[in-house]
Amino acid sequence: MRLKVLLVDDEQLARARLRTLLADCKAPQASVEAEAANATQALEWLQRQSFDLALIDIHMPGADGLVLAQALRALPDPPALVFVTAHAEHAVRAFELEALDYLTKPVRLERLQMALEKAARLVQSRGDAETGSPDDVLIIQERGRTERVLLSEVLYFKAELKYITVRTQSASYLLEGSLSELETKYVDRFLRIHRNALVSRPGVRALERQHDTPDGEAWAVRIHGIEELLLVSRRQLAVVRELVANPCS
């Protein structure tokens, strides 16, 4: 995948640095299709052609990046939005505007790479939605940060006291809510394996017998991409066995 990128920053040197960093990024590759020094120029470009990703500075003469982001939401096919700014105090407002990421200057190559990967996943999910396979996004607010997590990346939900642990291959998050509500909403994607856990149906790799307990045999599922095992209740054992034997059913 090659992402079509629009750079929006009033400083030419800042745009040049981003161009250099984008050229150094690995897959997904990014192609800078246009540059704008302010919001007005950016909107003119957006009316002429479509972009996969817009990298936008916040503090610019005239309408700032936050105003531009608000205007993007009115477009029929808006690009993924990533803010690139020297000011960190606008992060909360940025995510309220559905920004995919928030990079602070000087931008590090690794963080830009992560933002491109997020953008590529979002572009892919939009493509899936057009073919009838929508990919939902979880909005997780944790430790002063708002994160957008694609549901397709979630391996399991696990109830822990007042919160639900949301586990992906690379990270864990805490989500407020009810496991039963998640089960009802995403019944086609997640399977209840225990009173405190839902697992991604495609993520289940194996069902393994554990050591015997005073109550009888104990079983657990192994998930693709992580070493952690999740216990299966006796009530759900037959359902999990069926999933492992017939993953496409």
Q: Tens digit of pLDDT for each residue in 159-192?
A: 987 889 999 998 999 988 888 889 988 888 999 9
Q: Distance between CA 207 and CA 210 in Å, rounded?
A: 10
Q: Is 216 left (phi over 0), alpha (psi -120 to 50) or beta?
A: left
Map tokens 């007042």 to a residue. 162
Q: Which amino acid is at 64?
A: D
Mean predicted lDDT score pLDDT of the chain:
87
Total-model pTM:
0.55
Give which of 198, 192, 202 is closest to 239, Cα–Cα: 192
Query: Strand 172-175 to strand 229-232: parallel, antiparallel, or no bridges (unpaired)?
Result: unpaired
Q: Tell me, what's the pLDDT at 248?
A: 61
Please tell me the predicted confidence (pLDDT) of residue 132: 40
Element (H, E) at 47: helix 39-48
The CATH number of 2-130 is which of 3.40.50.20, 3.30.1330.60, 3.40.50.2300, 3.40.640.10?
3.40.50.2300
pLDDT at 205 > cutoff 70: yes
CATH superfamily for 138-245 is: LytTr DNA-binding domain (2.40.50.1020)
For the cut 60, the answer to whether the pLDDT of residue 16 exceeds it is: yes
C-alpha distance from residue 187 to each of 178, 180, 206 (Å)? 14, 10, 20
User: Any idea where the domains of the chain sit in the sequence?
Assistant: 2-130, 138-245
**How far is 194 from 75, CA to CA, in rounded Å?**
43
All residues at 6 or more sequence positions from 224 whose CB lies less than 8 Å from its CB, including other chains: 155, 169, 202, 203, 204, 205
Q: Taking 80 as the threshold, does the pLDDT of residue 212 lie above it?
A: no
Query: Which phi and psi (to 5°) does residue 53 adopt?
Result: -145, 135
pLDDT category of residue 93 using cuts at 50, 70 and 90 = confident
